[in-house]
């Protein structure tokens, strides 16, 4: 597979926890994509940039024991976590491989899925091409991406929500080549030689005392902090990450605001 830009969110144990947390929130969106793309029992699936294995296991639930899923990631450490989780949960139809191990170009998969991976590539179209080269004729390439630029909604306006998001966007901008890849799926699929993708978009929204969005924002900033600090963009001590989630919760709740997190983009096409 092509060389990707360095993973901006790092490879710490914290990042594994963050991926698992965010996965619970966006799971229904990925599930919708997989269902609309036609994933079904008995299919063989490849999950590109599988991270801690959440999409791999979601796909494995759909394809069932008569199907199989391969999770692929270039980060050997995160694959240890993925393997442990899949084994603990009793999956017998999944396998995890490092990037080079899967670089066989075999066109045997019914569906190749990637979540939150195009934004991290030096050349998103090249990754889509790689995905297509692993799909059997008539199979499907599907991506679920996230908007890593622009603004997020809050009405009534809650300043701290936007201040923290702006730091997150600055962190993304410092280490991501294509933070807008999700909003350019038509362009990237076309550059990869594929048909116009079928698209949909959703935004995680919430508010009130129990919304998971405050934690999601805070965990994301925490993963980006080393990069922001080394850039000299922020001083972690001044942010007080330990109280940030609660401060956001109080501000949003007392304003009776409805907030949104990053827009999600999903697209799929037949090969």
Ligand X SMILES: C[S@@+](CC[C@H](N)C(=O)[O-])C[C@H]1O[C@@H](n2cnc3c(N)ncnc32)[C@H](O)[C@@H]1O
Q: Residue 1 interacts with ligand X (CB under 6 A)?
A: yes
75 or 201: whose CB is closer to ligand X? 75
In the complex with ligand X, the residue whose CB is nearer, 207 or 216, is 216
78 vs 112 by CB, closer to ligand X: 78
Q: Is 221 in the site for ligand X (CB under 6 A)?
A: no
Tokens of 18: 């963050």
Q: How far is the CB of 118 from ligand X (least distance, A)?
A: 9
State which of positions 96-115 bind ligand X (CB under 6 A).
Answer: 99, 115
Shortest separation between residue 96's beta carbon and ligand X, angstroms? 11
Residue with structure tokens 């980006």? 224
State how far the alpha carbon of 62 is from the alpha carbons of 207, 238, 257, in Å. 31, 45, 37
> What is the contact mask toward ligand X in residues 46 to 85, using x (rule: CB under 6 A)?
---xxx--xx----------------xxxx--x-------
CB of 51 to ligand X, least distance (A): 3
Assess 145 for contact with ligand X (CB under 6 A): no
State the first-to-last Cα distance of the chain, in angstroms, to the nearest integer: 18
Radius of gyration of the chain (CA): 18
Q: How far is CA 42 from the centre of its chain?
A: 25
**Is the CB of 44 or the CB of 115 nearer to ligand X?**
115
Burial of 101 (0-12, 13-18, 19+ CB in 10 A): exposed
Of 91, 96, 109, 116, the residue at the interface with ligand X (CB under 6 A) is 116
What phi and psi values does residue 60 have, to the nearest 5 degrees? -65, -35
Alpha helices, DSSP H only, in the chain?
13-36, 54-63, 76-88, 124-132, 159-175, 185-191, 213-230, 236-239, 241-254
Shorter beta-carbon distance to ligand X: residue 146 or 255: 146
Q: Which of residues 13-32 bind ligand X (CB under 6 A)?
A: 19, 23
Q: Interior CA angle at 109 toward 99 and 192, to 5°?
A: 70
Give the shortest CB-216-to-ligand X separation in angstroms: 13
Specify whether the CB–CB gap between 34 and 142 falls below 8 A.
yes
Nearer CB in complex with ligand X: 17/258: 17
Alpha-carbon span 48 to 35, nearest angstrom: 18
Question: Which is closer to ligand X, CB of 77 or CB of 195?
Answer: 77
- Name residue, tokens 């396998």: 95
| Binding region for ligand X (CB under 6 A) | 1-2, 4, 7, 19, 23, 49-51, 54-55, 72-75, 78, 99, 115-117, 120
């Amino acid at each position: 597979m092509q060389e990707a830009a360095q993973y901006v969110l790092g490879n710490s144990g914290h990042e594994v926890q963050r991926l698992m947390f965010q996965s619970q929130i966006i799971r229904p969106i990925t599930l919708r994509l997989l269902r609309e793309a036609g994933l079904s029992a008995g299919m063989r699936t490849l999950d590109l940039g599988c991270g801690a294995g959440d999409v791999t296991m979601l796909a494995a639930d759909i394809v069932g024991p008569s199907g199989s899923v391969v999770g692929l990631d270039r980060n050997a450490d995160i694959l240890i976590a993925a393997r442990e989780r899949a084994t603990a949960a009793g999956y017998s139809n999944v396998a995890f491989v490092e990037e080079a191990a899967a670089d066989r170009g075999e066109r045997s998969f019914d569906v190749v899925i990637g979540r939150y991976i195009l934004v991290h590539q030096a050349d998103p179209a090249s990754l889509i091409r790689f995905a297509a080269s692993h799909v059997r004729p008539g199979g499907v390439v599907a991506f679920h991406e996230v908007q890593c630029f622009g603004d997020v909604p809050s009405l009534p306006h809650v300043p701290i929500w936007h201040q923290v998001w702006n730091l997150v966007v600055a962190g993304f901008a410092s280490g991501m080549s294509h933070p807008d890849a999700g909003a350019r799926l038509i362009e990237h699929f076309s550059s990869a030689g594929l048909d116009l993708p079928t698209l949909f978009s959703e935004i995680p929204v919430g508010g009130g005392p129990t919304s998971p969005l405050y934690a999601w924002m805070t965990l994301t900033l925490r993963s980006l902090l080393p990069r922001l600090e080394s850039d000299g963009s922020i001083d972690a001590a001044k942010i007080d990450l330990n109280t940030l989630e609660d401060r956001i919760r109080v501000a949003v709740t007392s304003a009776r605001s409805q907030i949104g997190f990053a827009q999600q983009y999903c697209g799929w096409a037949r090969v």
